[in-house]
Amino acid sequence: MPKRRQPLSVDSPNSGTDKETPNFLDDSEHEDASFTPTTKALTRKKRKVTGTRNRNVDNASLSQISGSQEPDGYDAPCHSRSTHTIVSPGPMRKALLSWFKTVHDTRGMPWRRAYDPNLGTEERAQRAYEVWVSEIMLQQTQVATVIPYYNRWMEKFPTIRDLADASIDEVNSLWKGLGYYSRASRLLAGAKKAVAEYDGKLPDNAKDMQSKIPGIGRYSAGAICSIAYGERVPVLDGNVHRLLSRVLALHSPPKAKPTLDILWAAAQTMVEIEDRSEGSIGATEKQESDFLSPQYPGDINQALIELGSTVCKINTVADIEDICDVCEPFTEPPGVTAYPMKAERKKAREELDVVHVIEWHSDSSPRDRMFLMVRRPENGLLAGLYDFPTSVDVPMKITVRDQESLTLKILPQIIQGASRISRQKKRNTVGHNPSQPEDLVIAEIQPVGDVVHVFSHIKKTYRIQLVVLEGGVKPPAILENPLLHDERPTKIERKEGRAAKNVNVTTAIDASKPAIWVPLNEVVDTM
């Protein structure tokens, strides 16, 4: 049998631990592709592995439960799930925190500060708000991108009460360019609820935070409460999942419940520090210098995330043996990159949306171009933002004639008098009063081209067609209750809080203007 990683137990040198990291747990994307750690690694002599893992199958094996198979190059029998546990986390935790001290400030994250056990209730609540904002921004976004947005956000909304007083338009304006705008609306909804129901403070424990604040799931609750409040709760994002799967040599389907249960248990073990001083949030472990160094759950969780994002990357062959002297390298291919098990990717389904760029200009001022924009629903993709009217998920082989008919269908749902709009190639203004609505005509419907976006599970094609309206002295009036939602998807897969509840941010959305006419020079700023 090929050699495996040296077990982490100091009491039982021949027992080991296994865990895996799923690629779908990317709600906290601390990894920065442009970052290369420059810290000097600890040097040591590699020790020879003299034992193998305990393979006693005394209960249902992980392979039987989740369909796990060993990676190519490894020949291991079915084994108990109890194999994949961290028996003695102390030495690994000590090495992890020692390393983290050397890189704590390397990437210049303004939200990262040393834990202070002497902070009062208000100060800890403020820290929770700051960590919350950073964690939501870091979902699927690199650190270097987030930093300037975070700084601008905290300047505009320094406290949770300042955020709760904001409108969705103010929030979206500040969020512009960061993407995944539903994150911003959930921050606003969460702030409003915290101020209205919890005296302007986020709950100080992960259980209540996850169940009571919109958009906060298990990972974010663990990160916020461990970092700000010192609660001993774990985190498991994509980085920690990948790191622990390699530490534990766990090879099983990354989304399977048995896999996740094992990983969450390992992450919990890492933060379960034994107190050596009564009433202390932090705990201590004996150092070589006999100095009692405090250990805090938030530091441990941040260190796990940092190690996973900067050293234990997805496709790197680098390992952590030079940091952790209780870990042994994989000496046989494919090495650490065999873990976690690669999730089988489904072929992305193809969808086609027709985007109607509806332009209006008057006869008297043809250069004064106005564009019709509609507000998206309160939930789903780009919630609460304005964009062009869109016909969603139309047949992939739709004809040009059918595309044009979609415009004739969508106009009466938004503007008044659309049923009387005529269709002609060029408007003849002789003898007509431009102030009459019946003089409004569709002067042009012109295909512009396609824009393709490839998501993880959808290949979305946006087919753009320009629709030019002419006539009248001002843009056509908007209906009081335009029928916009029939053309919109209403569901979105959320990375976080999916199982806990549906996030309803209706109260955070100003829907007083469901559709507006916008001058050409303001279109980009409106979206």
pLDDT (tens digit, 9 = 90+) per residue, 424-442?
Answer: 655 554 555 544 445 788 8
Closest CA to 264 of 231, 220, 234, 232: 234
Read off the pLDDT band of 84 (50, 70, 90).
confident
Residues 370 and 264 placed together within one structural domain of the fold: no
Read off the pLDDT band of 24 (50, 70, 90).
very low
Residues 420 and 508 placed together within one structural domain of the fold: yes
CATH number at residue 455: 3.90.79.10
Q: What does the pLDDT read at residue 62? A: 44
Most confident listed range (26-35, 117-126, 475-484): 117-126
Residues 134 and 41 placed together within one structural domain of the fold: no
Residues 413 and 444 placed together within one structural domain of the fold: yes
Q: Is residue 410 part of a domain?
A: yes
Pairing of strands 349-361, 458-470: parallel
Q: What's the chain's average pLDDT? A: 76
The domain boundary residue, chosen from 315, 344, 373: 344
User: Which three-class secondary structure state does DSSP give residue 523?
Assistant: helix
Closest CA to 29 of 316, 313, 323: 313
Read off the pLDDT band of 160 (50, 70, 90).
very high
Q: Is residue 22 part of a domain?
A: yes
Does residue 104 surpass a pLDDT of 90?
yes
Read off the pLDDT band of 376 (50, 70, 90).
confident
Q: Is residue 168 part of a domain?
A: yes
Q: What does the pLDDT read at residue 51? A: 34
Q: What does the pLDDT read at residue 428? A: 52
Average pLDDT score over residue span 6-26? 33
Note if the pTM is more than 0.85. no
Residues 132 and 93 placed together within one structural domain of the fold: no
Do 422 and 441 touch, CB atoms closer than 8 A? Answer: yes
Residues 62 and 182 placed together within one structural domain of the fold: no
Average pLDDT score over residue span 329-344? 77
Q: Is residue 237 part of a domain?
A: no
Does residue 367 surpass a pLDDT of 50?
yes
Does residue 407 surpass a pLDDT of 50?
yes
Residues 397 and 505 placed together within one structural domain of the fold: yes
Does residue 416 surpass a pLDDT of 90?
no
Does residue 3 surpass a pLDDT of 50?
no
The domain boundary residue, chosen from 300, 328, 344: 344
Count the residues in the chain. 527
Q: What does the pLDDT read at residue 420? A: 73
Spatial distance between the Cα atoms of 273 and 268, rounded to a whole number of angstroms: 10
Residues 80 and 149 placed together within one structural domain of the fold: no
Does residue 303 surpass a pLDDT of 90?
yes
Does residue 312 surpass a pLDDT of 90?
no
Q: Is residue 391 part of a domain?
A: yes
Does residue 116 surpass a pLDDT of 90?
yes
What sign does the dihedral 46-52-58-61 (CA atoms) show?
positive
7-11, 110-114, 190-194, 475-479: range with lowest mean pLDDT: 7-11
Q: Which residue(s) pair with 61 in the sheet?
A: 80
Spatial distance between the Cα atoms of 216 and 381, rounded to a whole number of angstroms: 18
Q: What does the pLDDT read at residue 211? A: 96
Q: What does the pLDDT read at residue 320? A: 64
**Domain limits for position 135:** 116-229
Does residue 510 surpass a pLDDT of 80?
no
Helix/strand/coil (H/E/C) assignment for every residue in 107-148:
CCCCCCCCCCCCCCHHHHHHHHHHHHHHHHHHCCCCHHHHHH
Q: Is residue 482 part of a domain?
A: yes
Does residue 36 surpass a pLDDT of 60?
no
Does residue 17 surpass a pLDDT of 80?
no
Residues 93 and 125 placed together within one structural domain of the fold: no
- Is 135 one of the annotated active-site residues of the chain? yes
Average pLDDT score over residue span 384-389? 82
Q: What percent of the chain has pLDDT over 70?
A: 67
Q: What does the pLDDT read at residue 484? A: 60
Q: Is residue 236 part of a domain?
A: no
Greater pLDDT, 472 or 54: 472
Tokens for 141, please give them: 């976004």
Cβ contacts of residue 120 below 8 Å, gap of 6+? none
Spatial distance between the Cα atoms of 248 and 259, rounded to a whole number of angstroms: 11
The domain boundary residue, chosen from 229, 260, 287: 229
Q: How many domains does the chain have?
A: 3
Most confident listed range (80-94, 185-199, 249-263, 380-394): 185-199
Q: Is residue 479 part of a domain?
A: yes
Instruction: List pLDDT tens digits, range 217-267.
Output: 999 999 999 999 999 999 999 999 999 998 898 888 888 999 999 999 999
13-27, 110-124, 295-309, 470-484: range with lowest mean pLDDT: 13-27
Average pLDDT score over residue span 315-330? 65
CATH number at residue 194: 1.10.340.30
Does residue 509 surpass a pLDDT of 50?
no
Spatial distance between the Cα atoms of 340 and 327, rounded to a whole number of angstroms: 17
Residues 340 and 365 placed together within one structural domain of the fold: no
Q: Which residue(s) pair with 308 in the sheet?
A: none
Residues 405 and 299 placed together within one structural domain of the fold: no
Tokens for 147, please give them: 């930093």
23-27, 49-53, 467-471: range with lowest mean pLDDT: 49-53
Determine which one of 20, 70, 130, 135 is catalytic: 135
Residues 159 and 58 placed together within one structural domain of the fold: no
